[in-house]
Amino acid sequence: MSENYSESSIKVLEGLQAVRQRPGMYIGSTGVRGLHHLVYEVIDNSIDEAMAGYCKNISVILHVDGSVTVEDDGRGIPVGIHPTAKVSTLQVVLTVLHAGGKFDTNSYKTSGGLHGVGVSVVNALSESLTAVVQRDGGIFTQNFERGKPTGEVQRTGNSSKTGTKITFKPDGQIFETLELSYEILAKRFRELAYLNKGIKIKLIDERFDVSEEFHAEGGIPSFVKYINKTKNLIFDEPIYVKGESNNIIVELAIIYNDSYNENIYSYVNNIHTEEGGTHEAGFKAALTKAFNSYVTKNNLVKENNLSGEDIREGMSAVLSIKMTDPVFEGQTKTKLGSNNAKTAVESIVSPALQDYMEENGIIVKKILEKALQAYMAREAARKAKELTRRKSALERDSLPGKLADCHEKDPAKAEVFIVEGDSAGGSAKQGRNSDFQAILPLRGKILNVEKARLDKMLSSQEIRNMITAFGAGIGKDAFNPEKLRYHKIIIMTDADVDGAHIDTLLLTLFYRFMPELIFEGHVYIAMPPLYKAMPAKGKEQYLYDDKALEKYRKTHKGAFTLQRYKGLGEMDAEQLWETTLNPETRMLKQIEIEDARMASEVTELLMGTDVSPRRTFIYEHATEAELDV
């Protein structure tokens, strides 16, 4: 790769247009996810410099005023006059969509920010942005407001160092929230440190005076052990594979635990491919091929019915590939579509695993014993699934007895509320609009599916009721989203500890066994109010959280009484309709895959067999708890 990273390396494809008008096209949303995506876009540029071998240290600072600074010690964005744009290259990078070194393969062999929209979109969606570059013996600064430069690049000092520092303040005119989460950012930076061993990423939060440095010399084997820190492992050290085929670098770490779930965390150029893709398909094919070859060669398993799914039960794997010009399916880059990635991964992983198996027979035997148990459980689950299948959409008697169904036959217009308890269920049934709203009450907490195989899970009547009501089946082979009877599945529980517990268990169920519900945007959580403020004069007002109550107290002049709702059952049917059921006035939170994954991780942490991390979690979060008295 050429080290000549200069003004001519920056290729301009088109101008920056319509980003502020349609921000969701570029960053996914204007909510929490989109806000954090701004930080990811800036740090991705620094990571690209690290992957190219020019950056070792990155710092991210969350300032009290809501602005963010990302600084690296890379080569620094070029600042001279661009050969075709005839303005500073720094200005081109920050104001022109699809402008960047990622389009010049001599500058970057692999890159996460392949659409080239990153920092220019951040600039467009920021109230203000300041870029400070150190290179060519100088310090260069340029300021912007809502994507437009307020002046030209200025040389503001001398320096023998190199690097780029971007400080931006997300625009309140664009984003629904401006509150960045330390935990969400820390999770992403931890991933990046594991995926790029040797790099140091420091996160400093000046709002709460906390900081953390992420640095992982162990790379992805350390990553897969970290992911399994609360699990009981079948063997201690991960299986590790690394190789290169047709200019695609493949890294893989595998470990097995005693759970019944498989977890594959796949990445392409550091981008988390949540929906998998061709690289995952290549890995699964290689894994199955290697085991089948070993089993046949050693005549170990008499049954020839072990599937790839059986072999992957209890497996955790981190798969990271780095390649030029990956093809993603969809704007959000969550699924890889490059066929050459499948070929490369399979050609590297299959022989490497076969070599490992020849040298580690005891470990392979443990995995096969677990796979055999999975096969027997799968057969039991296949028979149990028949209990959940509806004979016909027209046979209403096949639906659960507790379900109060709606009249609407078009799933796109129908919604079902999963309600905690018969009391709230009664109010919800009276308060709903039965034309398009169905109600399914739950009796108590559902089974913790994080620790259950499919056959045991299907023995739960409450879970079977849900599956039958949804109408789409369950499990990888049987779930069919086209048969879904409601396109809005709304979890409606009390705003207390028990309600949060039920939310977590339900999201874990969907994440583990019906992830398509979440990927396709069908799952929501209702947000019932916590309070009703009743002033001596004026209109009553529902308040949905403590922040809203604090704001009401500051802005409302005069006396008022306050009613706190401890449960949905305390509301009559009319109040429940007005606050939580009516599409015109209610508040819903749409669940994204990260919400569900976090719920699953919390379930494992709080209900797993390892007591130590559970105790640590409770101590760390004790100040956030609210007594329900």
* 604 flagged as catalytic: no
CA distances from 111 to 86, 107, 508 (A): 26, 10, 33
Taking phi over 0 as left and psi of -120 to 50 as alpha, with beta for the rest, 548 belongs to alpha
Q: Which residues contact 428 (CB under 8 A, 6 or more apart)?
A: 417, 419, 439, 441, 492, 568, 573, 576, 581
- For residue 605, the cross-strand partners are none
* Element holding 226 (H helix, E strand): helix 219-227
Residue of 49, 262, 415, 420 with catalytic role: 420
Q: What is the largest CA-CA distance in the chain?
A: 84
| Cα distance between residue 423 and residue 585, in whole Å | 23
Tell me whether strands 523-526 and 488-492 are parallel, antiparallel or unpaired: parallel
Among residues 100, 120, 166, 146, the alpha carbon closest in space to that of 16 is found at 120
| Cα distance between residue 470 and residue 365, in whole Å | 40
Residue of 212, 496, 545, 601 with catalytic role: 496
SS3 384: helix
DSSP string, 315-336: EEEEEEEE-SS--BSSTT--SB
Residue positions counted in the chain: 629
* 420 flagged as catalytic: yes
* 610 flagged as catalytic: no
Helices 32-51 and 182-195: angle between axes, nearest 10 degrees:
20
Residue 426 one-letter amino acid: G
Strands (E), 246-335: 248-256, 263-268, 271-272, 315-322
Residue of 274, 494, 503, 595 with catalytic role: 494
Q: Which residues contact 209 (CB under 8 A, 6 or more apart)?
A: none
| Cα distance between residue 127 and residue 412, in whole Å | 38
* 410 flagged as catalytic: no
Residue of 104, 498, 545, 594 with catalytic role: 498
Catalytic residues, which ones? 420, 494, 496, 498
